[in-house]
Structures are given as structure tokens and as C-alpha cells.
Structure 1
């Protein structure tokens, strides 16, 4: 009888752990894909296009103030680029906060000073969110000078070593 209980416990635990994803895949595009072009307005109401940055390496950072991991990643990537003496990467930071005031306060608190920092107030309903397939989580992409994704989910340490 005692063995039956243990067998039941083992079966129960193994069935529960089989539903837990061990390597949660992130959404979006993959290395080797061409980053879709987009137009977006800056805080000063200027229109910007990703295609205008061709010829430069670009770090696209998608985030939202309510997503702690993406927000921390965005801030640390911004700090690395600000501290880099060899500035060969342009950062484009896109927040999916639905309220401009929340975005502006987050930028102020996180000290994000990227010249190309945007808020997409349609949030997860925006075409940009869908175009980059961010439904499984925010991410960042490093693009080469032709707009091809050469790295995904790059960390601040990886970006720092890339810049050196």
C-alpha cells in the first residue's frame, strides 16, 4: 500500500512538471531575418523610419514600463551605448506603454537619453507589436547596416563586448 502512494506521488509530480516549459521561447523574429521597416513619431512629433538608419548598425529595443525585465534590459543597453567611446551602433527604443505620461516618467527615472526613443500608445494592439511578433515577450534586436538581424536578446555585457 505504501508503494502505491509513492507511485501515485511520482506520477502526479511528473505530470505537473511536464506542463512547465523549461525553455520558454521568446516571440518575434529570428537571427537572419530582415527587420521590418516601420514609421513612428518621436516625442517631439517628428516622423522617423527605420529604413533611414540603413548603413548603420541599429539596436532595436522593445519594452514597456509594466514589464520589469524588458525595462531593465532597455536601461542597461542604453547605459552601455552612452558610455561607449566607439559609437557605431544607433539605439531605437520603443515602449508599448499606453499612456504617454507613464512612458515619459519611466524615461526620466531610467535616465534613457537615446535620441530615438518612442512610445507606441496603441500598446499590444499596435501594428508594430504585431509586425515584430512580440506576443510572447519583449525583446531586442541588433541589426547590421543592411537591416538584417544579427543578434537577438542581446545583453548589456554582450553589447559591450561587441562595441569593443
Structure 2
């Protein structure tokens, strides 16, 4: 079967300012041609999520957008608004795109966007050192995005601060740097040895749940989602830990970053998660996730009976080992002496 492609010509008319930072308001004039029928959707990226900001009906193989946008920024193009779009960094008044309609947009090409060129190159590299990447292109929005999206969840507060300092000051107004600037303070609050912040959420039955009212055992506060493949693969290990230590003063509290209650409830049943589950169904806008600076899932915090955080992101054998240390036979014998 032949691969279908759309050849899109993008032209931007600047309404005010220019393409320099902070982001300049512009009106997108996007014309395209495609053999695909239906619609093309233009989406905006915000907090790890894409939301549709415009759509264009394909008529006689052609479509057009005239949409207010911010440049430079990350957008998405897709033929199905319910599926992941093609990631498109736009920083140039003119760009030309061959948008492959096959799965994952494998053969898509972009001309005229330096940011997209850099992002495409980044995706082909392995073992990227974020500080070196930023130093090579400190003023690119891609540097800010990569630090925000791919590295912030595995860096210490100090490392985040030092890498943000490498970015050009012109990036300060971007959504990425704004989030990055707030992360270190929150990460320090939820460091091992500190008290876990309290929160209230809603369980699967619609009842209110407050963390501070459920202390008294070792709690694994487990951030996950039905749509998260790595989370689902880790769930059997969490189930194993729960079954082994639930009668020794251990439990799990699941915090879902789902947006569909039906999918969330089905995953709980399918994976046999027989512990309290809560969610505000806000996806990456989850309030508990923000409170604990969770930027990637699966993620977890092991909380002692008095509310002190004693472990973070414990998975696989590491989780089993930590629980054995705290609640195993040797620990029980030591406590009884």
C-alpha cells in the first residue's frame, strides 16, 4: 500500500512584534494539499498535552488554517484529534512540510524551521548530555523543551537550576522555563527525610480521600495511569509487594493521572490493584502530581507511618528490598528487642 502524504505550505503573517522571544503573537496562514479525506487538526502543546485549536476540512485535496498562534512554539498536526499528532516546532514565518499520514508520521519532512531541524536531529541521538546540548544552542526553544520534557524528572534541584542558567534569558517567558523555575523548590519539599505534603482527592466511588487521615502504615504513594505502558508493566511488582507486606503494616495508595474514569476503573480491575485509588481525572494537570513534582510516571513515594518520606521511585527489586529492610522478619525481630 502506498504511503499517503500531505504537502503543506505554511506562511505566517506577523501581527505584532517579531519572532524573537518572548513569544510573538502571529496569525498562521497555513495552506495544504493532501489525498486524505476528512479533516486536518492543528494542536497546541501545553503541560505534556496537545489540545486542538483549529481544524480544516479537506476540500478537493486542499485545506487552509488562519489561526492566531504564538511563535516560536511546539504545535501538532494530525488527521485524528484523538491520536498523538506530529510534533512540529515552528520558529520561522515560512515552512514547508510533507506530512506522512502513515503510522507515527514516519516519513514526514520539514523545511524552513531551524527548531524542527534541531528537534529531528535530537531524536536520532543517544546518550545526550543536556548541559552540552544546551550550550550548543542556548537560545533555541528546543533546548528549553528537551530540558523540561526529557530531563527534568531525573535531575536534582541543583542540576535543574544549573541547566536553566545555561539557557538564553530570552527563553524566560516560555512555558518550559516557567515550569522549570518552579520545580526545584517543590522537589526539595518532597525530598527523602521531609514530611509528605497533604492532599485531598476522590476515590473510584466518588468519596473524598485525604492522605493525612490515612497515615499509620508504610504507604507507597503510587503515581500511574491506565494509558501508561511502563506503569502497567510495573503494576505486577506493586501487587506482589502489596500481597507480601499488607499484613505487616504496608499499603498502597494509587494516584491516577487518567482523564477517562472508565479506562481508569478498567485498568484497576484488569491489573488486580486491590488498594485505594484516587484521581481528579486531570491528566498531567493532576493536583497531587503537581504537589509532589511528578513529571514522569510511573513514580512513587514511600511514606513512613508518621508521614515522613523514606523512599522515592522504588521499582522492581529495589522496592522489594526496601520493604524487606523495613518490614521483613529481621526488621520485626529488631523492633521487638
Which of the five TM-score ranges fits, normalised by the shorter chain?
Answer: 0.7 to 0.9
Q: TM-score scaled by structure 2?
A: 0.40
Within 5 A, what are the aligned runs for 1:73-88? 73-84=234-245, 86-88=247-249
Displacement after TM superposition at 1:65 (Å):
1.9
Q: Distance in 1 between matches of 2:297 and 2:129?
A: 17
Please state if 1:55 is matched with 2:216.
yes
* Structure 1: gaps spanning 5 or more residues: 1-15
Please state if 1:34 is matched with 2:195.
yes
**Alignment match, 1:127:** 287
Give a deviation string over 1:74-113, Cα, whole Å, max 9, x none. 3421232123364311210111110001101111211111
Q: CA RMSD in A?
A: 2.4
SS in 1 for 2:306: coil
Farther-moved stretch of structure 1 (37-46 vs 149-158): 149-158
Q: Distance in 1 between matches of 2:257 and 2:264?
A: 8
**Alignment match, 2:225:** 64
Q: Distance in 1 between matches of 2:269 and 2:215?
A: 29
Displacement after TM superposition at 1:20 (Å):
4.5
**Alignment match, 2:128:** 19
SS in 2 for 1:61: strand
Q: Which residue of 133, 144, 151 maps to 2:304?
A: 144
Displacement after TM superposition at 1:40 (Å):
1.1
Q: TM-score scaled by structure 1?
A: 0.76
Q: Distance in 2 between matches of 1:107 and 1:30?
A: 28
Give a deviation string over 1:4-49, Cα, whole Å, max 9, x none. xxxxxxxxxxxx656356xx56365321232110111111122111
Q: Distance in 2 between matches of 1:158 and 1:19?
A: 26
SS in 1 for 2:153: coil
Q: Distance in 2 between matches of 1:146 and 1:128?
A: 19
Give a deviation string over 1:103-149, Cα, whole Å, max 9, x none. 011112111111x1123301111222211111244411111112111
Higher relative contact order (CA 8 A, sep 6+): 1
Structure 1 43/85 Cα, relative in aligned 2: closer, same or farther at 3 Å?
Answer: closer
Q: Distance in 2 between matches of 1:156 and 1:17?
A: 25
SS in 1 for 2:248: coil
Asked if structure 2 preserves the Cα contact closer than 8 Å seen for 1:34 and 1:147, the reply is yes
Of Structure 1 and Structure 2, the greater strand share is in 2
| Count of aligned pairs between the two proteins | 147
